[in-house]
Amino acid sequence: MASRRLEADRFFTSNYNEETYTKTGLAWVNSTETLKDVLDRHYSGLTAKWMNYESAFSVWDSAPQPHNPMPLYLRIPN
């Protein structure tokens, strides 16, 4: 259902242009991938001090996990 709503949203399809949005707004939409990107843009000091993970939904002050090249769907749970 979510994909159908995106397809039907005129602000994300036919009106996704510089006549509807500012150049800055379009740049923000095109460069933002995660909630951490939004927090970095608006509260850069907060994320630099407290966030060790790439995800804003993790425990912020916990130690970062080492890089694991195995995709999540192939990992065996503990």
- Model pLDDT for residues 12-39, shown as the tens digit of each residue: 788 888 888 899 988 888 888 888 888 8
Q: What is the pLDDT of residue 37?
A: 85
Q: What is the DSSP string of 16-50?
A: -STTTS-HHHHHHHHH--SHHHHHHHH-HHHHHHH
C-alpha angle with apex 10: 8 to 42, nearest 5 degrees?
110
What is the domain extent for residue 3?
1-31
The mean pLDDT of the chain is: 79
If asked whether residues 25 and 41 sit together in one domain, one would say no
Residue with structure tokens 């740049």?
27
Q: What is the pLDDT of residue 13?
A: 82
C-alpha angle with apex 54: 11 to 28, nearest 5 degrees?
25
Closest to 10 (Cα-Cα) out of 21, 25, 1: 21
pLDDT at 77 over 80: no
Q: What is the pLDDT of residue 62?
A: 67
If asked whether residues 18 and 46 sit together in one domain, one would say no
Q: What is the pLDDT of residue 66?
A: 74
**pTM exceeds 0.75, yes or no:** no
If asked whether residues 45 and 25 sit together in one domain, one would say no
When comparing pLDDT for 18 and 77, which is higher?
18
If asked whether residues 40 and 67 sit together in one domain, one would say yes
If asked whether residues 37 and 75 sit together in one domain, one would say yes
If asked whether residues 40 and 76 sit together in one domain, one would say yes
